[in-house]
Amino acid sequence: MDISASVVGDTQRRVFELENRDTIRQYLDTYFDKSDIADCVFLHRATTIAEWSQGKLEKSLLKAICASALRLAPTYHSESSPAHTWIKQVQHELVSHMGDMSVPKLQALMLVIKFLFSMRFTGDVWVLLSIASRVAFTKRLNYERPAIDPVKQECLRRLMWSIYVTDKVFSGGIEDLTVCPTQRMHIRLPSSHHNFQLGSRSKAPFLRSKNESDTDLNVLASLMRLYDIRDRVLR
C-alpha cells in the first residue's frame, strides 16, 4: 500500500501527537509491504500490528517503523519528509536511556542504524552498531532458545542476523573492526519469509553446519552464508 501524497505537511509531521491511527496503520503496512527480503526483517507483521492495536508496541519502535516506511515509500523526498526528524528523535531517546535497552528498543536501534546508513555512512552509525551488538550479546541473542514461542524466537534470530550482516558490511573483512564475530553465532539461519509469517518452528540449518537434510535452506539463509563467504574472502 503506497502512502498517498495527501498525507503530508503539518498533519503528517504531527501524526504521533494527533494519534492518527489510520495514517500510522498505513505506515505499518507500507513498511512490511516494501521491505526487501535482503533487509532481514526481524519484525513479525501480525504480532507487530496486534501489539500496536492494543497499545503495547514500544513507542520508539513504532516511530522508527513509521520513519522507515516513509523512506521506503515511492513518494519519499528527504527534504520534505519528517522521516529523518523522527529517526533522530528515536536515536536521541535510545542513546539517552542506554541502561534500559529492551529487545523492542534494540529493534528500534537497528532500524535507526539501517535508516542512517541508507542516507550516508557516518561515525554515529558505526558507534550505534557497536552498542547494538554489545546489547545483543549481553542478552545472549546469539544462542538458540527452543523453549520460547517460535515467532518470538525467529524475531530474535533475525535481529541477531541483521546485526551480523550490517557488521560484515561495515567491517569489510577487517577483523579488528568486527563487532559481531562469526564464531559466536550459535543460532539457526533465518527461516523463510513464508514460514516466519506463519509462525512455523524453524528448520533452517546453522551457518556452517555439514548435515542439511530436511532443512529449510531458503534465499535469506543462503544470503547469510554469502556474507560469511565474502567476509572470509576479504580477509
Contact present, 203 and 141 (Cβ < 8 Å): no
- Return d(Cα 199, Cα 206) in angstroms, integer: 19
Give me 56's grid cell: 503495547
pLDDT tens for 179-230 read 999 999 999 999 999 999 999 999 999 998 877 666 788 999 999 999 999 9
pLDDT tens for 23-72 read 999 999 999 999 998 899 999 999 999 999 999 999 999 999 999 999 99
pLDDT tens for 16-25 read 765 689 999 9
- Domain boundaries, position 37: 9-234
Burial (CB count within 10 angstroms: exposed 0-12, middle 13-18, buried 19+), residue 61: buried
Contact present, 167 and 114 (Cβ < 8 Å): no
Task: Give CA separation, 22 vs 7, 16, 45, 66, 209, in Å.
Answer: 11, 11, 17, 12, 45
- Return d(Cα 141, Cα 135) in angstroms, integer: 9
Contact present, 64 and 48 (Cβ < 8 Å): no
pLDDT tens for 86-96 read 999 999 999 99
Q: What percent of the chain has pLDDT over 90?
A: 77
Assess if residue 32 is contained within a domain. Answer: yes
Q: How many domains does the chain have?
A: 1
pLDDT tens for 109-153 read 999 999 999 888 778 999 999 999 999 999 999 999 999 999 999
